[in-house]
Chain A
Amino acid sequence: MNDNHDAPNRTTTERRSDLELVVTRLFDAPPRLVSEAWTRAELFIQWWAPKSMGVPLRSCEMDVRVGGGYRLEFGHDAESAMAFFGQYLEVVPGERLVWTNAEDGDAPVTTVTFADQGGKTLLVLRELYPSKAALDGAIAGMPEVTAEQFEQLDALLASQGVRMTEH
């Protein structure tokens, strides 16, 4: 967990309150350029779904102005695609973006700020959940995965039981 600890461009994450997660990262370019990569779909699509995420971003549409919408679709094909969408609440070019995540009632509102630090950019991303229960749920849950893990464990134990009775 402490790999890269001294790297200047380390990404940090923190639960800052009952409702809020905060991510920070320094970029070696001015805010004008860093923010451009968040507001132009053809750039955004190049980095939002890194390989390690395991699912590619199939499409990305964004209408970056107050009240404008965005829509992201992840997946290997149209049938299995998962959509994420919402609306921009604040748009201050080169400084600040705020958007909703409307695919889920418990999803957070995301705020990204780009602060100039002598030609570099300190990026701060905040995810503000509607309630403590919503953030606790996101954390405790990873519900699908825990359920999946336990299902596979059940199957494993069951198959073990079968083998034992067969002998």
Chain B
Amino acid sequence: MVQHLPARLDASFAALSDATRRGIVEQLGAGDASITDLAARFGMTLTGIKKHVGVLEQAGLVTTAKVGRVRTCSFGRGGLAEEAAWIEHYRQLWAARFDELDNVVAALKHRESSDERQS
């Protein structure tokens, strides 16, 4: 009946606290780019760029796919990652609900067993 979610915003903002990473996101907003492209554009080593892209990827802001020897970076989440994250979030909502339901059910059980003792 309703899914509530924020959570992911935190990771996004942490990822975007760095000027190079904001630049990468802006760049990818205009179109996909390879790690090599990004390294050239930001005057960084491949290793340095990979590290930044990794942080953005973990925050769900960027996805990467390797085709042959080229790793292409895109803005946004991939379909499968998106679905897996959503299902996990959905599970957490139900798990939290059902933990509360455990308490309600335990109280009903307790009431019933004390009724039995009295009758």
Of all chain B residues, the one with the shortest Cβ separation from A154 is: B29
Q: Which residues of the partner chain B approach A53 to less than 8 Å between Cβ atoms? A: 2, 4, 93, 96
Interface-central residue, A36, A110, A125, A142, by most chain B CB under 10 Å: A142
Stretch at the interface among A41-49, A61-69, A88-96: A41-49
- The answer on a CB contact under 8 Å between B102 and A153 is no
- The answer on a CB contact under 8 Å between A145 and B82 is no
Of all chain A residues, the one with the shortest Cβ separation from B98 is: A25
- We find that the number of chain A residues with CB closer than 8 angstroms to chain B is 46
- The answer on a CB contact under 8 Å between A149 and B2 is no
- The answer on a CB contact under 8 Å between A11 and B95 is yes
B40 at the interface (CB under 8 A from A): no
Q: Which residues of the partner chain B approach A34 to less than 8 Å between Cβ atoms? A: 101, 105
- We find that the number of chain B residues with CB closer than 8 angstroms to chain A is 42
Q: Which residues of the partner chain B approach A134 to less than 8 Å between Cβ atoms? A: none
Give me 16 A-to-B residue pairs in the complex whose CB atoms sit less than 8 angstroms apart, sorted by A's number: A9-B102, A11-B98, A13-B87, A13-B88, A27-B101, A29-B109, A34-B101, A36-B108, A47-B97, A50-B93, A51-B96, A125-B94, A142-B5, A153-B25, A156-B16, A160-B19
A residues at B contact (CB < 8 Å): 1, 9-15, 21, 23, 25, 27-29, 33-34, 36-37, 43, 46-48, 50-55, 72, 74, 82, 84, 101, 110, 123, 125, 139-140, 142, 145, 149, 152-153, 156-157, 160
Given contacts A23-B94, A153-B61, A157-B22, list 17 more A-B pairs with CB under 8 A.
Answer: A9-B98, A11-B94, A14-B87, A23-B91, A33-B108, A33-B112, A34-B105, A37-B101, A43-B108, A47-B103, A74-B2, A142-B5, A145-B8, A149-B9, A153-B25, A156-B13, A157-B26
